[in-house]
Structure 1
Amino acid sequence: MAYTMTPTPPGPVGSQYCVCKVELSICGQNLLDRDVTSKSDPFCVLFMEVNGKWVELDRTETAVNNLNPAFAKKFIIDYHFEEVQKLKFALFDQDKSSTQLYEHDFLGEFSCTLGMIVSSKKITRTLLLGNGKPAGKGMITIAAQELSDNRVITLSMAGRKLDKKDLFGKSDPFLEFHKPGDDGKWMLVHRTEVSKTLTQGWFMPFPPQVICYDYDSDGGHDFIGEFQTSVARLCEAQDASPLELECINPKKQKKKKNYKNSGIIIVKSCKITRDFSFLDYILGGCQLMFTVGIDFTASNGNPQEPSSLHYINPMGTNEYLSAIWAVGQIIQDYDSDKMFPALGFGAQLPPDWKVSHEFAINFNPRNPFCSGVEGIVQAYSACLPHIRFYGPTNFSPIINHVARFAAQATQQETASQYFILLIITDGVISDMDETRHAVVQASKLPMSIIIVGVGNADFAAMEFLDGDSRVLHSYTGEEAMRDIVQFVPFRNFRNVPKETLAKAVLAELPQQVVQYFKHQNLPPINSEPA
């Protein structure tokens, strides 16, 4: 492959809203020695696949005479969970000052997805030459780290003898926290609520200026006093030994000789915790456990007929397969063994042709796992000629099936596993009460449900399960602990790039993962202290 440098750095790649930024550190081991009188002078170039072409994003410095370089420069890249971000790391031996890569000797390359890197936190792989053969003993190690400071400081505070600003009563104090701006001026970053005692949590990595006001309903708040402090000083506060800080009014201080202060702000306690992100949990070792549930009811039509939703066209696909690929190719990067259960429902099975609403499509109930998305596709295609489409459309058995495994995972009391069930269906749910109950119970577990509706049926019931606009209740009146269902009709994505479907169905998943583990007070497995 020919490599050329992009004349100008490319703009943001992918969706408009980035989840976060990831820093990639690169090391090489046992690189090829292309120089005669000395060792290679390697540098690494990062490419991303954009619209089927490799676009250069950045390159490291050159490590002179070094076959085992640890590059100081890091690659910073926007991370989008809902996208397949294909990356290529190519190493070259610098021979000339030219920026054109063809002027330098090729040392090998490695391609993968960003999801593969962050799910492992660090990977070491063999470098390959252009012909696909190993580049000698050359290896590359890539380590990922999220670029964010997610520490949160929580202060419990009270006021004492604050200046009275109200004619007929005590002041109604609140505090403003300011940080120094680049222009030297103070910039407001947090305002507490009006209260006699305050317990507030927010991020504050700066030495703050704190201003105390008396609240007025007309917005004309009266200045009481101010003080400057530091996070280290605030952290000295403990329940048994609170920290007292004087509120000073500079004008009063100048006018009155005996002026002491305008009151005391008492910091009763100060705690610094971390507000963990989705990527914190993934980098911490959380695995996403993926299961597919496929609708084989008679309303889909005879799979031998082109009108059937299960008919596999000459291109080797249909709406069911498109949905499996769209979601599966993202999720599979976050499961280390990439073995996924694939289940069917609504079909009659040989040899007695009884209806089943929870069967392994590989016909191995003891081992329903398929190897990767390709394995799911193969099992699906092989299954079609051997079953009879029937009905009804019952969701609850498969939801309960996955929920049992999610419940077992909670016994570990760690943020190690989160279960994702993809249900692909063409019709109206027959067991709506049972399904609502199953979803409400699953909302208490590390589990999310994605429903993709294929065909042109009425999917109003699916919208009802998706709790974006209302809280879901079971038939007994029990309320869902959180929204875990995301429904998307496939027909809305027939004439758009296939990546758009994945973005739509996976958009809420990172938030659902974080929401569950936070509710359970479970930090990432390998989290660092705040």
Structure 2
Amino acid sequence: MPACLGSVLLRQAECVPIGRTETAVNNLNPVFGVKFKVDYHFEEVQKLKFALFDEDKCSSQLYEHDFLGEYICTLGVVCYMSHCSWSLSVTPFCICLSLITALELSDNRIITLTLCGRKLDKKDFFGKSDPYLEFHKQGDDGKWMLVHRTEVIKNTLDPVWKPFTVPLISLCNGDVDRSIKVLCYDYDNDGGHDFIGEFQTTVNKMSEAQNSLEIEFECINPKKQKKKKSYKNSGIIILKSCKVNQDTKSLIDIVGIDFTASNGNPREASSLHFINPLGSNEYLSAILAVGQIIQDYDTDKMFPALGFGAQLPPDWKVSHEFAINFDPTNPFCQGVEGIAQAYSVCLPHIRFYGPTNFSPIITHVARFATQALQQETAAQYFTLLIITDGVISDMDETRHAIVQAAKLPMSIIIIGVGNADFAAMEFLDGDSSVLRSYTGEEAVRDIVQFVPFRDFRNAPKETLAKSVLAELPQQVTQYFKQRNLSPSNTASE
């Protein structure tokens, strides 16, 4: 019973699993329905490993199963060749081909289908049928490729399948007139699934199933159709609903900038906030390097940018959560360049002060993340990027704020600039131990990533961004899984 595991190979041959297919029962030529999704970074050599196992036991542990073989390649090769087949390196066996398809996911539309069947052919001798559906799309080469497989509905000729959602680009490459073949099978435990029938359609045709209007497709078995003149069909597949929407998941990015006195007078060259003749400093470099990556995952590219630790005009009171554009009702900046511009304009109008308190700005973002919890789906995830130069003054309050924030859809990225002692930041990172509040409460997950800018001063900005964002995808997916949340399917009218 073959199953395939996909992994990403990092430095020193470390493997990070990216997914596992379903198990194909008693099948030497399996066609897996599960897809592996990997972000493609042009500037990196991204190695992939595909391993095949024969599942003999009811266990999720790979060592419990027989290893059949593996193949290692780069994602760049997959993207360049688009369709690839390779023999697996197997000892002592000699099997197996793997087909990989690479897609550029530029279309963010999703399609949700609700289907049922009526009077399907009876295939089981002692029962009815155990029907399921397979959706295949036609490639440019004319070949059909499996896109989605529904669940099996036991012992019925009138199945009702659960609604399912797939990216439109996966179903038809974003082409609503591309042919889609739907096959119906009767599931058998021995893997010899019986073919019931099939039909072809397009997204354009299926889109007619709206506003309580259902579409019926005759399920045709071509062999039976040729043999019997009286043959009509092998049942009816009914499309009850078809909805094509925009996938509205978004990453809400918020920037927090340290304006405490320990940074030095921004008018003096020794200050970390001093803007050199090239128009840059470590704060701006960090904002641009990280922001240019994460802004691609923000739907509107409007970023709230906040400052802390400075005295503000006209009364010169200290604030630890002020809008750097001085508009508290609309602290948003247009893109990363907008943040950089607001930062440069802000500098001469504030007085650097202190202390270096993190908890107010973390709590500020947590309030918005708490509001996101009221939604039924995981529509928003908040990322707070804090750029700072020194030791935290309110460590106990910050630890408590982070522990509470770990329950919310948010992550915290801290970039340390300058040459200060960042031991406290590394403690908050939580990679070596679980972070605890002063009350003793443990963080339910690690949401902090700390990176010292000095380690990347002479490195390409892509290297800094890669290190800073390394843990973010895992933190996002971990939160969704813990909360049992699904991606947002909000319609874009």
Bin of the TM-score, shorter chain as denominator length: 0.5 to 0.7
Shift of 1:326: 1.3
| CA distance in 1 between partners of 2:251 and 2:298 (Å) | 6
Task: Map 1:129-528; keep pairs closer than 5 Å.
Answer: 229-230=190-191, 284-526=247-489
- SS of 1:320 mapped into structure 2: helix
Shift of 1:523: 1.7
1:384/1:18 Cα in 2 relative to 1: closer, same or farther (>3 Å)?
Answer: farther
- SS of 2:43 mapped into structure 1: coil
1:491/1:465 Cα in 2 relative to 1: closer, same or farther (>3 Å)?
Answer: same
- SS of 1:433 mapped into structure 2: helix
Shift of 1:119: 5.8
The one-letter code of the counterpart of 2:44 is S
The one-letter code of the counterpart of 1:371 is Q
- SS of 1:522 mapped into structure 2: coil
Shift of 1:120: 6.7
Shift of 1:57: 4.8
1:520/1:429 Cα in 2 relative to 1: closer, same or farther (>3 Å)?
Answer: same
Shift of 1:513: 0.6
Residues paired across the two proteins, number? 292
| CA distance in 2 between partners of 1:371 and 1:12 (Å) | 25
Residue matched to 2:102: 76
Per the normalisation by structure 2, the TM-score is: 0.54
Paired residues of 2:307 and 2:320 also in contact (CA < 8 A): yes
| CA distance in 2 between partners of 1:483 and 1:466 (Å) | 7
Shift of 1:515: 0.4
| CA distance in 2 between partners of 1:19 and 1:420 (Å) | 28
1:72-91 deviations in whole A, cap 9, x for unaligned?
A: xx9826x8xxxxxxxxxxxx
- SS of 1:487 mapped into structure 2: strand
| CA distance in 2 between partners of 1:148 and 1:291 (Å) | 40
- SS of 2:366 mapped into structure 1: helix
- SS of 2:431 mapped into structure 1: coil
1:468/1:118 Cα in 2 relative to 1: closer, same or farther (>3 Å)?
Answer: farther
Shift of 1:454: 0.1
The one-letter code of the counterpart of 2:429 is D
1:354/1:230 Cα in 2 relative to 1: closer, same or farther (>3 Å)?
Answer: same
| CA distance in 2 between partners of 1:12 and 1:519 (Å) | 28
| CA distance in 2 between partners of 1:346 and 1:501 (Å) | 25
| CA distance in 2 between partners of 1:16 and 1:394 (Å) | 40
Paired residues of 2:431 and 2:446 also in contact (CA < 8 A): yes
1:408-428 deviations in whole A, cap 9, x for unaligned?
A: 001012111000000000000
Query: Are residues 1:14 and 2:43 paired?
Result: yes
Shift of 1:525: 2.4
Shift of 1:284: 3.9
Shift of 1:337: 1.6
- SS of 1:419 mapped into structure 2: strand
The one-letter code of the counterpart of 2:460 is P
5+ unaligned residues in a row in structure 1: which ranges? Answer: 1-10, 22-49, 51-55, 61-73, 80-113, 123-146, 155-207, 209-226, 234-282
Shift of 1:486: 0.2
- SS of 1:481 mapped into structure 2: coil
1:310-367 deviations in whole A, cap 9, x for unaligned?
A: 0111111111011111111111112222111000000011111111111000011111
Larger radius of gyration: 1
| CA distance in 2 between partners of 1:148 and 1:379 (Å) | 49
Paired residues of 1:119 and 1:333 also in contact (CA < 8 A): no
5+ unaligned residues in a row in structure 2: which ranges? Answer: 1-39, 51-75, 84-99, 112-144, 153-186, 195-245
Shift of 1:15: 2.4
Paired residues of 1:394 and 1:429 also in contact (CA < 8 A): yes
| CA distance in 1 between partners of 2:254 and 2:278 (Å) | 25
| CA distance in 1 between partners of 2:323 and 2:192 (Å) | 56
- SS of 1:374 mapped into structure 2: helix
Percent identity between matched residues is 71
1:436/1:20 Cα in 2 relative to 1: closer, same or farther (>3 Å)?
Answer: farther
Shift of 1:466: 0.4
| CA distance in 2 between partners of 1:348 and 1:319 (Å) | 22
More contact order relative to length (CA 8 Å, sep ≥ 6):
1
1:338/1:119 Cα in 2 relative to 1: closer, same or farther (>3 Å)?
Answer: farther
| CA distance in 1 between partners of 2:373 and 2:452 (Å) | 32
- SS of 1:393 mapped into structure 2: coil
| CA distance in 2 between partners of 1:507 and 1:526 (Å) | 27
The one-letter code of the counterpart of 2:190 is T
1:478-522 deviations in whole A, cap 9, x for unaligned?
A: 000100000000000001111100000101111111000111111
1:502/1:434 Cα in 2 relative to 1: closer, same or farther (>3 Å)?
Answer: same
1:501/1:12 Cα in 2 relative to 1: closer, same or farther (>3 Å)?
Answer: closer
- SS of 1:311 mapped into structure 2: coil
- SS of 2:102 mapped into structure 1: strand
| CA distance in 2 between partners of 1:449 and 1:18 (Å) | 28
Paired residues of 1:406 and 1:447 also in contact (CA < 8 A): yes
1:471/1:313 Cα in 2 relative to 1: closer, same or farther (>3 Å)?
Answer: same
1:224-252 deviations in whole A, cap 9, x for unaligned?
A: xxx9723969xxxxxxxxxxxxxxxxxxx
1:456/1:372 Cα in 2 relative to 1: closer, same or farther (>3 Å)?
Answer: same
1:418/1:313 Cα in 2 relative to 1: closer, same or farther (>3 Å)?
Answer: same
Paired residues of 2:82 and 2:102 also in contact (CA < 8 A): no
| CA distance in 1 between partners of 2:302 and 2:49 (Å) | 28
